[in-house]
Amino acid sequence: MPNPLLNIDQLPHFAAIKPAHVVPAMERVLEESRAKIAELCKIKQPLWHNFACVMEGIDNHIGRVWSPVGHLNAVRDSTELREAYQKGIELLTAYHTETSQNKELFRQYNRLRSNQEFADLSRAQQKVIDNNLLDFVLGGADLPSAEQNQLRQINQQLSRLSTGFERNLLDSTQAWSLHLSDRAQLSGLPQSAIDAAAQAARADGKSGWLFGLQLPSYLAVMQHLENGDLRRQMYQAYTQRASELSENGEYDNAPLIDQILELRSKQAQLLGFANYAGYSLVKKMAESSVAVLQFLNDLADHAKPVAEQELGELKEFARQQFDVQELNVWDISYYSERLREHRYSFKDEEVKQYFPAPRVLTGLFEIIRRLFKVEIVANSSIKVWHEDVQCFDLYVQDSLANGGKRLLGSLYADLYVRKNKRGGAWMDSCVHRRKHNGKLQIPVAFLTCNFTPPNGDTPALLSHDEVATLFHEFGHALHHLLTEVDEIGVSGINGVAWDAVELPSQFLENWCWQQSSLELIAQHYQTGQSIPCELLEKMRAAKNFQSGMQTLRQIELAMFDMRLHCDYDHADPESSVTALLDEIRSTVALIPAPHYNRFQNSFGHVFAGGYAAGYYSYKWAEVLSADAFGRFEEEGFFNPKTGADFLRSILQRGGVDDPNDLFVEFRQRPPQIEPLLRHSGLKQAGKLA
């Protein structure tokens, strides 16, 4: 039977893909790639068409084989797939390291760069070549063979450690649960959370109610359960995940963190950087770790006074209304939710009735149509990996295309939490746009969330925060799918500076708050009634509730990440990751963390994702997104020209141009921080350094 992973002319046949297919497919495609590269290194005059374009095709082929494997590992975890994935990622890491250190291949790119043909290439093609040359330098192509070998070993170790970190976190999250059999213990919980817990218990062969550390279950308990002792248990279990304090230390990530930091430091130093932050920032907008930390400190100066006032109000409210003299850390979410309900006279459970997932999707698609003239249509013929997954095609009107519309891309949407699925929300690429020999490869995206699933005849009801999450990830998907760049190395989000990549995602979140767009996405799941104007105004009034505290939390995480990678000395026996986090908390955080808090052991963005020395990107890009949205505030939320300009200047341009130049093209001036401060309720104004 043919290996389904090798059939790259069609979308993946997920049901046919087995763990046993992974290693043979990767061995074959990598062997073929090495043979092609060997031939490319013999070309006497490397040009775009006979060299760089062929390399693009090699990268595309590998990506088409590997992307379904990486995706299934995140959404359909099993012991067999884990083992196959680990072997596959080791093969892939070895190949990438070997390729990036190939001195003859490096020389070929340099020959092409210095060839007179280079000036006649498109800007996208030139950018692909320049990016590849930088990747060779960062991959160690200039290093002596002994140091190349060191770097090769480091890359393999980092790959294994990052995968291990992510698996420990998933296993630790799934290993803990809270089983309740007394209904009185559920006091305060919304009915939707009770129903979800009952459904979870039944699925586990139990009566009563089962709560876990997956975010929908955890947040429901922390925000609504009256029983403070149970909230404490949940908080402690959640903040101890993947640590020596959970599951007898079976999934402890602390040793992995130490090894990852040490190896990253060695990697950076081998390549001539003082620290890993310097290495990481080479491809980002921010010029240095000093600039990043200054940006974060400036933002903290705006946020901290607001946060201090918010915390004072919360403590006073808890004293007056509940006779609570001291707030524990596991009380913060609970009493914050009571204060929000008291101040704005509505509950999340009331709001959720108006956000059934099918209606939210329909409304989101209409918003995209109005903004960018893109039509999104369901496609039930695409093969999926789980019955919950939905597929959609994106079209634009085109009189020259068959049927008067042109296919732009396709999207898999996997929205609901389930066992053996990684937590969180993300967008990833399945297929990249590429045009070769007159044939266009259509981009395809994976959009993954972890919302509470439908229950019987009741559709999935989303909180407004979950609606914002969906919009956020869809913004990433649009960046990937609406690109008009034909070179794979800079199409979609490829080649985009990491601290600018959040611009489209955070930008789209703004349409969760406008009355004209909320009318499209909000409709009562039973009555079909539109969301009442009174409730809508209450929601909008509560938009910046505790925004100072939330901003400080993000600054804390961003500072922790950056300082881990620029001035933390892993070799100093007096230093520790926990001590550094405690130091940062002492200057930024307002709420002391308990001694058992091991947040760092679950910081997957930094230790198992792409955000090492880059977590600040969320706030950095939020400056850009808030300011970009400011033009829509000035010209109209569905102004067709403004939408067309954003599409042309941001979404379609891929990684060809400098993000700052693209922003200036759209906004006709450099970015300013004032819109972010205004949108966040932090009031004061200033400019982005």
Q: Over range 478-499, report the average pLDDT.
A: 98
Is the pLDDT confidence value at 373 over 90? yes
Strands 439-441 and 405-416: unpaired
Q: Average pLDDT for residues 103-128, to the nearest whole number?
A: 97
166 noted as active-site residue:
no
Long-range contacts of 669-677 (CB under 8 A, 24+ apart): 671/623, 671/624, 671/627, 672/623, 672/627, 673/299, 673/623, 674/627, 675/623, 675/626, 675/627, 675/629, 675/630, 676/622, 676/623, 676/626, 676/627, 677/302
Instruction: Name the pLDDT band for 571 (thresholds 50, 70, 90).
Output: confident
What is the spatial distance between Cα 78 and Cα 76, in angstroms, rounded to a whole number?
A: 7
Give me the numbers of helices (H) and strands (E) for the chain, helices first please: 26, 9
Please state the rounded mean pLDDT for residues 19-27: 98
Residue 330 has which token pair? 């596991």
Report the distance separating Cα 658 and Cα 666, nearest Å: 13
426-431 and 444-451 strand pairing = antiparallel
CB 567 within 8 A of CB 275: yes
Length of the chain: 689
Quickly state the pLDDT bin for 685 (edges 50, 70, 90). Answer: very low
Ranges of H-type helices in 240-288: 254-270, 276-280
Q: Is the pLDDT of residue 227 over 80?
A: yes
Q: Are 201 and 210 in contact (CB under 8 A)?
A: yes
Phi/psi of residue 378, nearest 5 degrees = -65, 145
Q: What is the pLDDT of residue 683?
A: 73
Whether the predicted pLDDT of 660 surpasses 80: yes
pLDDT at 576: 93
Mean residue pLDDT of the chain comes to 96
- With bands split at pLDDT 50, 70 and 90, how would you rate the model's confidence at 94? very high
Q: Is it the case that residue 686 has pLDDT exceeding 60? A: no
The secondary structure of residue 685, as a DSSP letter, is -
Task: Return phi, psi of residue 177, to 5°.
Answer: -150, 160
Whether residue 273 is predicted with pLDDT greater than 50 in this model: the reply is: yes
* Residue carrying structure tokens 């369901």: 378
Task: Provide the angle, in degrees to the nearest 10, between the axes of the packed helices 332-344 and 289-322.
Answer: 70
Please give the average per-residue pLDDT across 489-507, as a whole number: 97
pLDDT, position 362:
98
Judge whether 519 and 483 are in contact, CB under 8 Å: no
Strand partners, 429: 445
| Burial zone of 31 (CB within 10 Å; 0-12 exposed, 13-18 middle, 19+ buried) | exposed
Q: How confident is the model at residue 402 (pLDDT cuts 50, 70, 90)?
A: confident
With vertex at residue 164, the alpha carbon angle to CA 160 and CA 170, rounded to the nearest 5 degrees, is: 150
pLDDT band at 216 (very low <50, low <70, confident <90, very high): very high
Longest dimension (CA), the chain: 82
Cβ(154)–Cβ(267) below 8 Å: yes
Task: Confirm if 47 and 126 have CB atoms less than 8 A apart.
Answer: no
Q: What backbone torsions phi and psi does residue 672 show, to the nearest 5 degrees?
A: -125, 150
Which single residue is written with the structure tokens 């972890």? 450
The three state secondary structure string of 277-327 is HHHHHHHCCCCCHHHHHHHHHHHHHHHHHHHHHHHHHHHHHHHHHHCCCCC
CA atoms of 654 and 389, how far apart (whole Å): 27
Place of tokens 């690109």: 483
Q: Calculate mean pLDDT across residues 617-640.
A: 97
Residue 625 structure tokens:
């997104």
Q: DSSP H helical segments within 405-502, as ranges?
A: 464-481
Of 426, 557, 555, the closest CA to residue 493 belongs to 426
What pLDDT shows up at residue 687?
36
pLDDT in tens, 408-433: 999 999 999 999 999 999 999 999 99
Residue 164's nearest CA partner among 297, 78, 256, 229 is: 256
* pLDDT given for residue 180 in this prediction: 98
Task: Give 504-572 as a 3 state SS string.
Answer: HHHHHHHHHCCHHHHHHHCECCCCCCECCHHHHHHHHHCCCCCHHHHHHHHHHHHHHHHHHHHCCCCCC
Instruction: Please report which confidence band the pLDDT of residue 689 belongs to, taking 50, 70 and 90 as the band edges.
Output: very low
Res. 573 pLDDT band, cuts 50 70 90: confident
Burial class (CB in 10 A: 0-12, 13-18, 19+), 191: exposed
The band of 157, judged by pLDDT with boundaries at 50, 70 and 90, is: very high
374 three-class SS: strand
Q: What is the 3-state secondary structure (H, E, C) of 107-147?
A: HHHHHHHHCHHHHHCCHHHHHHHHHHHHHHHHHCCCCCHHH
pLDDT score recorded for residue 248? 75
In the block, tokens 């919950």 appear at: 388
How does pLDDT run across 315-365, given as a tens digit for each residue? 999 999 999 999 999 999 999 999 999 999 999 999 999 999 999 999 999
Q: Which of 56, 166, 473, 509 is catalytic?
A: 473
Which domains are delineated in the chain? 4-142 (1.20.1050.40), 176-249 (no CATH), 254-346+546-615 (1.10.1370.10)
Share of the chain above pLDDT 90, in %: 96
Structure tokens at 511: 């349409």
Is residue 611 classed as helix, strand or coil in its secondary structure? coil
Strand 405-416, strand 444-451: pairing: parallel
d(C-alpha 61, C-alpha 170), whole Å: 30
Tokens standing for 399?
Answer: 């009189």
Are 276 and 565 contacting, i.e. CB atoms less than 8 angstroms apart?
yes
Split at pLDDT 50, 70, 90, the class of 688 is very low
Query: Residue 684 pLDDT more than 50?
Result: no
Banded model confidence at residue 107, pLDDT cuts 50, 70, 90:
very high
Give per-residue pLDDT as tens, 236-257: 999 999 999 997 789 999 999 9
Alpha-carbon distances of 161 from 244, 262, 607, 608, rounded to whole Å: 17, 12, 9, 8
Helix axes 19-40, 79-100, angle to 10 degrees: 10
SS3 state at 378: strand
CB atoms under 10 Å from CB of 380, counted, come to 7
